[in-house]
Amino acid sequence: MPDQPNHDVAVIILAAGQGSRMKSDLPKVLHKVGAVPMVGHALAAARSLDPARTIVVAGHGAELVMQAVGKLDPDVQIAHQAEQLGTGHAVAQALPMLSDFNGKVIVLYGDTPFISEDTLAQMIAHTADVVVLGFEAADPGRYGRLVTDENGDLARIVEFKDADEATRAIRLCNSGVMAASAGLLREFIGALGNDNASGEYYLTDIPGLARAAGHRAAVVTCDEAETLGVNSRVELAQAEAIFQARRRAEMLADGITLTAPDTVWFALDTHVGRDAVIGPNVIFGPGVTIESGAEVLGFCHLEGCHISSGATVGPFARLRPGAELGGNVHVGNFVEVKNSVLDEGVKVGHLTYLGDAHIGEHSNIGAGTITCNYDGVMKHRTEIGANAFIGSDTMLVAPVSVGDGAMTGSGSVITMDVPADALGLGRARQANKPGLAKRIMQALREQKKSRGKH
């Protein structure tokens, strides 16, 4: 990837549609594939070009789209399309943000998550003045058709609604993705008309207008699967299945062991190193990195975490955002880690919650340990030194620290700092009452009998 942005490329992502077939209050482009809103996939594709500028055109649910895009990429600009009057009208809303830009502009769609980096690179590298992405459809259906001339150049794009039977017989279909110079778009966007079956301003009219003015229009083709647009819950499920199948295949090809591939669910930005082992029924949320040689056992849920080489996690563990596991750390079953750093060789066997904590190297955390990090208003940190031993069922009431080599007694509630090499005890003194258990049980049985229960 170049060190500097590509000043000859800008990207416009159309994300203004409501998506009525989704039957949702959520804007269509915010429905997730691979644990990331679909518009995030378009943004990832745009980043592969390292563009000078990226503009997202928002309309329906614009505030929600703006918030989501801001989290995904704070450098992206937002244009607002108050009325959804077609793709040409949408691009027109973004062009004022490119008034001083004279490079090539590529138009993507926020509900089309699978356009590949190679395909976009081909479109940008093409010498034609306008380049449209097409595909040979197994079932052309209601797609717009790409009509080419005797030289194979693009003559015009015809929407299905406006096509005659001969044109509908063409199998080369329009994906909607288009590349053209900013100057050409500025020249012809204003010339678009809406004299068509939908009464909308079609971006697809640009190649015909450009060609009539002596410019060359061309087609770059890709596999049909790249152009899948998501317009319904059924198509969303299909897109998820396609995404997961691709990611599983990529992981296996990269030298990662998936013991039950069909049960593992990846996010768009999941990074896993060679020779890592992923067990069955593991779910990856956004922001997970697993280094080479680590192992995640079955039924774990991971999000926003980093697992170093040699570490083992699970089964039935949950790593939440901010969990940082050092080399050879062991996190066992029914352990939850959140916003905590576990240094080299830490062992957390089972039934433990570590939140807002730092655990020093080679410390052992006993079963049932909880860092009590929340006072109802604010979060507080727990600091545990190296080679410490935290007894089972210890409650560490933060803010609190346990020094290097220190211990806590099982069942302790630790509310004060424990110095290095000290033993911290925070529990009531045990008292045995002879015969009291027998008398209590006899009384309870008599009470139950008097109530007519046997």
Helix, strand, coil percent values for the chain (each to nearest 5): 25, 30, 45
- Rounded to an integer, what distance in angstroms lies between the CA atom of residue 188 and that of residue 173? 22
Q: Is the peptide bond before 74 cis (omega within 30 degrees of 0)?
A: no
The neighbouring-strand residues paired with 78 are 56
Residue 315 has phi, psi (to 5 degrees) of: -75, 170
| Residue 126 annotated among the catalytic residues of the structure | no
Q: Is the CB of residue 282 less than 8 Å from the CB of residue 261?
A: no
Q: 151: burial class by Cβ within 10 Å (0-12, 13-18, 19+)?
A: exposed
The length of the chain, given as a count of residues = 454
| Residue 261: alpha-carbon gap to chain centroid | 19
- Active-site position among 126, 350, 358, 380: 350
**Which H/E stretch holds residue 122?**
helix 117-125
- Rounded to an integer, what distance in angstroms lies between the CA atom of residue 105 and that of residue 124? 9
Active site residues: 350
